[in-house]
Amino acid sequence: MREAPNINMAWTMLAAEECARLGVRHAVISPGSRSAPLAVAFARHPSIQTHIAHDERGGAFLALGIAKASGVPAVHVMTSGTAVANVLPAMVEARMTRTPLLVFAADRPPELRDCGANQAIPQSQLLAGAARWSVDLPCPTTDIAAEFVLSTVDEAFARACGFAGAQGGAVHVNWQFREPLAPDERAWDIGWLWSIARWTNARTPWRRSLPPVAAEVEIHSAIVVAGRMPSQAAQALARWKGTLLADITSGLAGSATAGADLVLRAAVEGHNDALHAALRTEAIAVVGDPVVSKRLHAWIASQSEGVTVFGAGDPRVDPAHRADAVYSGATLFRPSRTLKPHAGWKRALAIATQASSRALEQERTLCEPTAIASVVSSAAQAGVKRGTMFYGSSMPIRDADFLAIPQPNGWHTAANRGASGIDGLVATAVGHAYATREPVIAVVGDVSALHDIGSMQLAALVETPLVMVVLNNDGGGIFRYLPIAKHSDVFEACFTTPHGLRFDALARGFGLATDAPKSRAALEKSMARALKRGGATVIEVVVSREASEACRARVAQAAVVALGREFH
């Protein structure tokens, strides 16, 4: 730190070094003048990889994706003013999914606040509703001990990671700067560093906060409902000897654990009293974040007692307000000696997933469900042992979950389901690619792709295979399943919102490879080429909303019929 050219750089170089010692390996920099001391400090740090994002919203989702994939917060550096407001959507997602994120925003000094100075807004508490913690730092000065800088960075990291007595999420550190903003020489008292000599001469953080010790909990219930959860908890449930109803986001969905939505649909729409009876249980353990399936939520809500929630807290995971016990801390699960699979659910899941798989194989039309099935099978057949399947928040993740499409062995499943927004999906997928350095396949809808079209520029810089499959049905097909669809005078223009665009030209404008297969076989060949090629590829699949709806109905009906034969 002795080589810092001025006191602004001394503070920010301390911060960058402390972030690196804590384990931060990625910084996203959005350009600006006021944030120059931060940008220079992180860009010059040898242990931190920097990524440039011209748009703060995309940059924040890029940092979010890195954190979701790695479990370690990335730092997002930005200038003052409306730049700060643009990170709010990603911070909301971070809070809802307890994902660590560090937002380092530059600000004007006190004398330039609330006086009409350019690019100055009341930003110090602007993000407080979404942040786990907000701190407004004073302008750098040697009158404040260097320990303050280090311990504040340590506290921000701990709060972002959930190591400070609360759940993890985004932290906003607001940095006030006076001139000089550039790394120009300006004399400062180097003796200011003497008080942190033990830190200067070491390689360790000034203060390390340890993660909470996970409590081991014995599960007696035959039913565990699994949403997205910390890796430790997922590992404990990976070979669960009871019955696991695994949401697509849990990473545990497979032939014996997926398909709960199909089973419950068969019970309700098939008016199958025998199946209803076979699914009864006395207790349910709900682990992790909320699941995608509305039917599974409704089934949990129908339980009169015995619903225990693990891993919740802030935000709480109890939409029906029926939980009788909640454990918000880190938890490891141990099956009781007497735990056995639930006979009814075990049999029903196996039948439903087999019926769905056979029905999807028989579908020849290229539509949304068959495209997802072909994409997943292509990933499984590509010989790539590890990667990430990233699903868009609208129909893609619902199709993958509802139709129990099996995920490739060894691959992770990812999504932005905290707030279920469609903003920043492309950028988040890019973040997963940077953090894992492994192939990423992102399946998103056309409206989602348009919403984050600027992040195609971020995708163009990725070197590992990043395949973005855009399911283009010319609008928001999900609205066709909602009551508003009956109001034809406003439905198409205001809700479906057809745009008439194709993505190949848009993607090529960003320098991306493109393809537009017209059949399932062509899609599988396109996927194989993209996974071998490296870099980013946009594969546009033009589909019909009506064909997709008909396919979903046929596959679901196949499961209803199969379960009806077994349970009668």
- The per-residue DSSP string of 394-425 comes to THHHHHHHHTTPPPPTTEEEEE--SS---TTH
User: Which residue do the tokens 């699994």 mark?
Assistant: 226
Q: How far apart are CA 443 and CA 539, in angstroms?
A: 10
SS3 sequence, 94-120? HHHHCCCEEEEEEECCHHHCCCCCCCC
Q: What is the pLDDT of residue 220?
A: 83
Q: How far apart are CA 460 and CA 506, in angstroms?
A: 12
Model confidence band, residue 94 (pLDDT cutoffs 50, 70, 90): very high
Domain 7-200 sits in CATH 3.40.50.970: yes
215-348: CATH architecture: 3-Layer(aba) Sandwich (3.40)
How many helices and strands in the chain, by DSSP H and E?
21, 19
401 with 425: CB under 8 angstroms?
no
Q: What is the pLDDT of residue 447?
A: 93
Please indicate whether residue 371 or residue 215 has the higher confidence score (pLDDT): 371
Q: How far apart are CA 527 and CA 287, in angstroms?
A: 34
Which H/E stretch holds residue 12? helix 7-22
Comparing C-alpha atoms, which of 92, 567, 117 is closest to residue 345?
567
Tell me the CATH number for domain 368-543. 3.40.50.970
**Of 311-315, 494-498, 545-549, highest mean pLDDT:** 545-549
Model confidence band, residue 165 (pLDDT cutoffs 50, 70, 90): confident
Mean pLDDT of 147-166: 95
Span 448-506, pLDDT tens digits: 999 999 999 999 999 999 999 999 998 877 777 778 777 888 877 888 788 888 999 99
Two structure tokens written together for 238 = 């990976």
Span 33-78, pLDDT tens digits: 999 999 999 999 999 999 999 999 999 999 999 999 999 999 999 9
What is the DSSP pairing of strand 101-107 with strand 75-78?
Answer: parallel
Judged against a pLDDT cut of 90, whether residue 181 lies above it is answered with yes
Please indicate whether residue 325 or residue 275 has the higher confidence score (pLDDT): 275
Judged against a pLDDT cut of 80, whether residue 425 lies above it is answered with yes
Lowest mean pLDDT among 150-164, 316-330, 481-495, 517-531: 481-495
Model confidence band, residue 29 (pLDDT cutoffs 50, 70, 90): very high
Q: How far apart are CA 283 and CA 303, in angstroms?
A: 8
User: What is the chain's alpha carbon radius of gyration, rounded to the nearest angstrom?
Assistant: 25
Q: What is the pLDDT of residue 315?
A: 84
With 0.75 as the threshold, say if the pTM is over it: yes
Judged against a pLDDT cut of 80, whether residue 313 lies above it is answered with no
Q: How far apart are CA 313 and CA 167, in angstroms?
A: 7
In the chain, ranges of CATH 3.40.50.970 domains = 7-200, 368-543
Judged against a pLDDT cut of 80, whether residue 508 lies above it is answered with yes
E-strand stretches of 328-420: 331-335, 387-391, 411-415
Q: What is the pLDDT of residue 3?
A: 92
Residue 198: is it exposed, middle or buried by C-beta count within 10 angstroms (0-12/13-18/19+)? exposed
Write down how long the chain is: 568
Judged against a pLDDT cut of 80, whether residue 512 lies above it is answered with yes
Give percent of the chain with pLDDT exceeding 70.
100
Two structure tokens written together for 407 = 């995920």
Model confidence band, residue 381 (pLDDT cutoffs 50, 70, 90): confident
Sheet of 325-327: strand order equals 243-246, 223-226, 284-287, 307-310, 325-327
In the chain, ranges of CATH 3.40.50.1220 domains = 215-348
DSSP letters along 176-218, please? Answer: E-PSP-SS------GGGGGGGHHHHTSSS-SS-PPPPPPEEEE
Span 202-221, pLDDT tens digits: 999 999 988 888 888 888 87
Judged against a pLDDT cut of 90, whether residue 303 lies above it is answered with no
Backbone angles phi, psi at 333, to 5 degrees: -110, 135
Q: What is the pLDDT of residue 114?
A: 87
Q: How far apart are CA 213 and CA 164, in angstroms?
A: 12
Q: How far apart are CA 396 and CA 175, in angstroms?
A: 40
Q: What is the pLDDT of residue 383?
A: 81
276 with 295: CB under 8 angstroms?
no
Two structure tokens written together for 546 = 């009506």
Average predicted confidence (pLDDT) for the chain: 93
E-strand stretches of 311-406: 325-327, 331-335, 387-391
